[in-house]
Structure 1
Amino acid sequence: MADPKLLKADLCVIGGGSGGLSAAAGAAMLGLKVVLFEKHEMGGDCLNYGCVPSKALLSAAKAAHAPREAARYGVNAPPATPDWTGVKAYVRKTIETIAPVDSQERFEGLGCTVIREAARFDSKDTVVSASVRVKARRIIVATGSQAFIPPIPGLADVPYLTNETIFSMPDFPQHLIVLGGGPIGLELAQAFGRLGAQVTVIEMGRALARADAGHAALAVEAIRKEGVTILEGYKAARLSGGPGAITVHAEGPDGETALHGSHLLVALGRRAVLGGLDLEKGGVAFTPAGVTVGDNLRSRSNPRVWALGDAAGREQFTHVAGWHASVFIRRAFFKQGSTAASLPVPAVTYTSPEIAQIGLTEAEARKTFGDAVKTTAFPFHENDRAIAEGKTLGEAKLVLHKGKLVGASIAGDGAGDILQLVSLAMSNGMKLTALTNFISPYPTRAEVVKRAASAYFTPSVFGKPARTLVSLLQRIP
């Protein structure tokens, strides 16, 4: 076998997901020589198995659910008849529509050398694959993450699904059992419930545990009302059975119960993909969470190496991976001081209702700042657009410390889009008054943010001191 071809590069990127592609594109457009490795699908998990297919599936599920709500609008609609083959085709079409943006052809057009092979470190400045050997000035590890499969007795012996397989499974599940009540678990639970499956979720703690407790409760209760069983405080102790007949023995407050389902989805979190990289040869320190990096995303043990996205062991969001790429470009090529923590990170759970949050939740803020924390909120049931559309469940809550925005949580229809007002304000250090000092078009849901911010100032604007001042000013001709 011939020796691998030697290439020299300014930047070598391992991983063609959101972070790796963004960094590779930025470097290439700056005229640098870039080599990009991707052993699976271009676009990574988000495009092929995560954000894109899940949101397409949720859209199909919303369409299936719509006739059930039609009567309250005075519309008589026949029940929907979901077709799993057709739904999968819609999911696939969505992926294919977006895929050209992440394609090998596009990146080769930008000037990148794209190698569709597994890569590994051979030394501190060299990466090798089956056909090439790349000596690079800088190396990025952006290998993403994959579903965490826990060592539950019997799990290895029964067929199970993850986000990588559920969107293409041949048969629609009659009874889907979901292990994990986090965002992925509940989004898919609600989607399959709306498409006609019986669904049971097993969560050992509180469902949506990282969300504002009150807003999480709104979403959980709404999903339960649609017929999804959500068992909080239950742990999967062991599994048994085979294809089409899986039993989960779960331990809960009332002892052990046996749950019987046709399909099993494991949605218990994700772990960074670092296997096969030979990080030790590259002098790259790491833990199971990811490459050990500083807030600048640079390896603490090998300054040539950077880690972006899930491989950096931080928040696991596509938009965070994109931000990491921006931090890398700014620091490595423009010598700016951006860090991974320079901006607050928003997160959205795309259930109905959606839950969107940024910064600290109320509970986290009180744990940090104690009684100095204040909140101000405005409910969707007082928003005219929400009333007109019949989507009045939810509220916007702002969390403040000494008058400064430190977090926000919004539960309700379109919460993820509405949150961006708060994200803009927090990211640019704006005062709370900035969320009151603009004209909000009427009627829009985003007005809930302005109304929540305005509510904070109501006591001072319309309180006794203000009334006294206005009374005195009225004496002036």
Structure 2
Amino acid sequence: MKELKTDILVIGAGSGGLSVAAGASQMGANVILLEGNKMGGDCLNYGCVPSKALIASGKAANAQTLSSDFGVASVSPQVDYSAVKDHVHDVIAQIEPMDSQERFEGFGVKVIREYGSFISRSKVQAGGYVITARRTVIATGSLPLVPPIPGLDQVPYYTNETIFDLREKPQHLLIIGGGPIGMEMAQAHVRLGCKVTVLEGARALAKDDPEAVSLVLDKLSAEGVNLHEQAKIAQVSGTKGAIEVIAETGNVFKGSHLLLAVGRKANIDNLNLAAAGIDRTRTGIKTDDTLRTSNRKVYAIGDVAGGMQFTHVAGYHAGIIIRSALFGLPSKAKTSHIPWATYTDPELAQVGLTEVQARTQHGERLEVARFDYHHNDRAMTERKTKGFIKVMVFKGRPVGATIVGYQAGELINLWSLALANNLKMSQIAAMVSPYPTIGELNKRVAGAYFSPRLFENQSVKRAVRFVQRWLP
């Protein structure tokens, strides 16, 4: 075994691990990065990038069916599913160099293409190396959860790690799971000409605002997605091209292909955490609000920490680690300003408290400001008038925002900024937006918050009449 020593050891080359490795190395620390699989992790290879590329193909196909609304003859799209997957992998290939081993070695990072496993509180073995680090960062991400459904081990199925390699168009795709991944894949595939059935054991998109979710589900249903909620699965059977899923109610759903989208589990089984004295939780590795584990020299970030499982959270965690592990500065992770988005059409985005959560927490003193897309001129020009934005306000400051509609994932950025910096609604209202833009919705909802105070306030009207009487 070859013994190595380093300042920072990063286990996992996904988005969080790469951010820590690049930042720490460029700031002068000695860094070793371990990755036994693909550089870039789940997001680049199996998650965010390929899924959004597939969604873009579905969007292009759907646009051909709607072009008559703009004075251009609509056509029935001719979808080459194999070519769609070429597009998906081409996008991955374009981004790969940013996450490549060569690029990070250029930063001064020593990259070892092996999995890491703890052999003591301070040592990690990776292939033929034993590494001792001043600080270790676990960034091993998560894996698709495969539930213990009777018969599943006898049936061919796909997860997000394998669906993007499928090159034959599914005739009828069965999706188990109505969360963001399931619903995004459902709409993308139905737009590409597949029949799609989604089976959800509880409520689809359950973490989001029910009113906003209803608008999304109505659109997906209109496009042909067949959603069954409260459909707990009892058994799966069949062979390639002929799959049967039996619900606890006895209903039988038949399809050609099966996709599992029931959630994620932390990728920790091979780390030998017990040897390092690192405690686990039901969802991952136990950390405090500084992202330290029970071993004070080891941090855990991103999905493996068992909290919000988003690529941008892993990146945010990386910044916490840089400040704490490199500079010794107090730095704590919080979640109140972390947004998320589901890239269906219409998009669905949230930051902070939902309306239900905000009313529970703040009671009658909560105010909800709302503005609908159909009042936005740019949305009218694009024929994207379905949707709304509502902002939960307490004592003049936003505590949450819900957006459903065109570019909701872009619009939510402003509200994440507002929550991160404790901004007031008056500061949002003071913003000037170019006309006509979808982004103007953010300013208009702030205006909707102040409108009753200005236009329905008798004191304001009396003051105006008084001033007008004396103005020259």
Note whether the superposition's TM-score is higher than 0.5: yes
Aligned counterpart in structure 1 of residue 103 of structure 2, from 103, 106, 128? 106
Is 1:474 matched with 2:471? no
Report if aligned partners of 2:179, 2:206 keep a CA contact under 8 Å in 1. yes
Aligned counterpart in structure 1 of residue 267 of structure 2, from 273, 295, 298? 273
Is 1:64 matched with 2:64? no
Whole-angstrom distance in 2 between the partners of 1:99 and 1:141: 22
Whole-angstrom distance in 1 between the partners of 2:116 and 2:300: 15
1:372 positional shift: 2.3
- Alignment-derived partner of residue 183 in structure 2: 186
Is 1:200 matched with 2:185? no
Is 1:428 matched with 2:425? no
Residues 411-464 of structure 1: per-residue CA shift (max 9 Å, x gap): 001011111111111111110111110211100011111111111111111221
Residues 284-318 of structure 1: per-residue CA shift (max 9 Å, x gap): 1112411110010001x210100010011110000
Aligned counterpart in structure 2 of residue 79 of structure 1, from 76, 85, 103? 76
Report if aligned partners of 1:378, 1:452 keep a CA contact under 8 Å in 2. yes
- Alignment-derived partner of residue 161 in structure 1: 158
Residues 175-226 of structure 1: per-residue CA shift (max 9 Å, x gap): 0000111100000000000000000001111111111111111001100000
1:342 positional shift: 6.6
Residues 378-404 of structure 1: per-residue CA shift (max 9 Å, x gap): 000110000111010101110112322
- Alignment-derived partner of residue 286 in structure 1: 280
- Alignment-derived partner of residue 174 in structure 1: 171
Report if aligned partners of 1:386, 1:392 keep a CA contact under 8 Å in 2. yes
Whole-angstrom distance in 1 between the partners of 2:258 and 2:364: 44
1:143 positional shift: 0.3
1:326 positional shift: 0.1
- Alignment-derived partner of residue 26 in structure 2: 29
Whole-angstrom distance in 2 between the partners of 1:415 and 1:397: 12
Whole-angstrom distance in 1 between the partners of 2:269 and 2:154: 23
Whole-angstrom distance in 2 between the partners of 1:430 and 1:369: 18
- Alignment-derived partner of residue 54 in structure 1: 51
Task: Write out aligned runs for 1:62-461 (5 A).
Answer: 62-251=59-248, 255-299=249-293, 301-341=294-334, 344-461=337-454
Structure 2 alignment gaps of length 5 or more = none
The 1:471–1:424 alpha-carbon spacing in structure 2 relative to 1, beyond 3 Å, is same
Whole-angstrom distance in 1 between the partners of 2:163 and 2:67: 29
Query: Would you say how many aligned residue pairs link Structure 1 and Structure 2?
Result: 470
Whole-angstrom distance in 2 between the partners of 1:434 and 1:213: 29
AA aligned opposite 1:136: A
SS in 2 for 1:210: coil
Whole-angstrom distance in 2 between the partners of 1:391 and 1:112: 46
1:256 positional shift: 2.1
SS in 1 for 2:4: strand
SS in 1 for 2:423: coil
1:172 positional shift: 1.4
Aligned counterpart in structure 2 of residue 45 of structure 1, from 42, 52, 72? 42
Whole-angstrom distance in 1 between the partners of 2:396 and 2:176: 41
Whole-angstrom distance in 1 between the partners of 2:53 and 2:167: 18
Structure 1 alignment gaps of length 5 or more = none
AA aligned opposite 1:227: G
Whole-angstrom distance in 1 between the partners of 2:378 and 2:187: 25
Whole-angstrom distance in 2 between the partners of 1:337 and 1:281: 28
Report if aligned partners of 1:128, 1:134 keep a CA contact under 8 Å in 2. yes
Whole-angstrom distance in 1 between the partners of 2:199 and 2:71: 37
Whole-angstrom distance in 1 between the partners of 2:264 and 2:362: 31
SS in 2 for 1:123: coil
Whole-angstrom distance in 1 between the partners of 2:365 and 2:80: 53
1:78 positional shift: 2.4
1:371 positional shift: 2.4
AA aligned opposite 1:351: T
Whole-angstrom distance in 2 between the partners of 1:170 and 1:91: 11
Root mean square deviation, CA, Å = 1.0
Whole-angstrom distance in 2 between the partners of 1:375 and 1:311: 35
SS in 2 for 1:420: helix
SS in 2 for 1:24: helix
AA aligned opposite 2:221: R
1:343 positional shift: 5.6
SS in 2 for 1:290: coil
- Percent identical pairs in the alignment equals 48
Normalised to the residue count of structure 2, the TM-score between the two structures is 0.98
Residues 121-155 of structure 1: per-residue CA shift (max 9 Å, x gap): 01111110221110110011100001111111111
Report if aligned partners of 1:271, 1:288 keep a CA contact under 8 Å in 2. no
